[in-house]
């Protein structure tokens, strides 16, 4: 099989997970089975997305979620099928989802004894489905800290990102890819529709130290902190020595923007604004998993002043400013933000 990093024998996601099981002697196969079921749910969601224009699953569902956002029909579909797949594993005792106000408990006998809890954004960028733009699923896995055999509780989820045992995303685009890490590097798997399996296509992903892409919603420029505005101008200045100006690329789906920048080199920015001074992206099920992947690939992630993975979660749906990408670009950005000394919008 020819991959982005060379030629290797065909390796499926399940085979790869089993091969790497020795990295976690304490897991005894539970984490492997959990990751396997994530892949199964991804295939189900992928099939529905590919048929979205042919069935009645486009558009808004008529509800508003806990974030105050319009719920899309595919949000509900993805949320339901990931929960169902993880319930079937008996390796997960509870789930926190962007779509649900409270955690979902799996309160039967086997699940109560499970070691892991699962955080997810079941369908990031779902409003783009109507116009056939790439969307994704983001997830992270933690070892529970509550007593096994009892119901999970909120403390199991309010752990810093450094405690993640696995994190990943699925991008549903021109091809469907699952990218994940267990703290031993980052690997990507592309869904081969001819055999219905995710196959290893991007081994040991490393993001370039310096990229040429910056991703930000420039329509909100007037409301950004002064340091972000100055960094954007820095990106646009002609400088042959640093290969500037950089290209502005913004899809509006965190998974899609981050995936491109991870492979090609770049920086993604979602700063605070006057309307959302605390940031907009959710710490637990968007920023922490993406930050874990970025760091494992050689990148960096912060809120502009603090490493994302060190931020102590205070609530299930906590929001933070978010910057992630190539380390040299992150260093430049944080330099501009440090000069301001104030993370609030100008």
Q: Residues comprising the binding site for Mg(2+)?
A: 98, 121, 123-124, 286
Which of 335, 272, 283, 334 lies closest to 304 in space, CA to CA? 334
Q: How many helices (H) and strands (E) does the chain have?
A: 8, 19
**Do 324 and 268 meet the contact criterion of CB atoms below 8 Å apart?**
yes
- Per this entry, what is the length of the chain? 346
Q: Which residues are annotated as a binding site for substrate?
A: 124-127, 217, 250, 280
- Beta strand pairing call for 213-215 and 267-270: parallel
C-alpha–C-alpha distance, residues 84 and 240, integer Å: 53
SS3 at position 279: coil
Q: What's the number of CA atoms in the CB half-sphere (13 Å) around residue 154? A: 7
- Beta strand pairing call for 2-3 and 6-7: antiparallel
Q: Which residues are annotated as a binding site?
A: 98, 121, 123-127, 217, 250, 280, 286
SS3 at position 172: strand
Torsion angle of the four alpha carbons 79, 80, 85, 88, in this order, in degrees rounded to the nearest 10: 130
| Per-residue b or e along 201-213, where b marks 16 or more CB atoms closer than 10 Å to that residue's CB | bbbebebbebbbb
The C-alpha angle 170, 175, 181, rounded to 5 degrees, equals 30
In the block, tokens 């024998």 appear at 9
**Do 253 and 134 meet the contact criterion of CB atoms below 8 Å apart?**
yes
**Do 248 and 214 meet the contact criterion of CB atoms below 8 Å apart?**
yes
């Amino acid at each position: 099989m020819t991959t982005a990093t060379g030629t290797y024998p065909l390796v499926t996601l399940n085979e790869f997970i089993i091969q790497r099981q020795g990295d976690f002697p304490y897991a005894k196969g539970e984490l492997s089975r959990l990751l396997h079921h994530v892949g199964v749910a991804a295939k189900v969601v992928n099939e529905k997305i590919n048929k979205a224009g042919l069935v009645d699953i486009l558009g808004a569902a008529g509800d508003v979620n806990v974030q105050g956002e319009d719920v899309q029909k595919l949000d509900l579909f993805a949320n339901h099928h990931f929960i169902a797949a993880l319930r079937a594993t008996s390796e997960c005792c509870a789930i926190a989802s962007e779509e649900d106000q409270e955690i979902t408990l799996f309160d039967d006998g086997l699940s109560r004894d499970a070691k892991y809890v699962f955080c997810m954004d079941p369908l990031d960028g779902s409003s783009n489905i109507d116009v056939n733009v790439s969307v994704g699923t983001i997830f992270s896995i933690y070892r529970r800290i509550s007593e096994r055999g009892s119901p999970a509780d909120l403390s199991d989820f309010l752990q810093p990102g450094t405690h993640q045992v696995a994190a990943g995303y699925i991008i549903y685009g021109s091809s469907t890819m699952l990218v994940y890490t267990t703290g031993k590097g980052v690997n990507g798997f592309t869904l081969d529709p001819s055999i219905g399996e995710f196959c290893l296509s991007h081994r040991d992903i490393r993001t370039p130290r310096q990229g040429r892409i910056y991703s930000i919603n420039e329509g909100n420029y007037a409301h950004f902190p002064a340091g972000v505005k100055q960094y954007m101008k820095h990106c646009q200045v002609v400088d042959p020595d640093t290969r500037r100006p950089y290209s502005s690329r913004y899809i509006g789906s965190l998974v899609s923007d981050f995936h491109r920048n991870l492979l090609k080199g770049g920086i993604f920015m979602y700063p605070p604004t006057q309307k959302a001074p605390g940031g907009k992206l959710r710490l637990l099920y968007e920023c922490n998993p993406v930050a874990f992947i970025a760091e494992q690939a050689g990148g960096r992630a912060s809120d502009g002043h603090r490493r994302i993975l060190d931020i102590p979660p205070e609530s299930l749906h906590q929001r933070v400013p978010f910057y992630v990408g190539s380390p040299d670009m992150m260093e430049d950005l944080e330099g501009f933000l440090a000069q301001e000394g104030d993370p609030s919008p100008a």
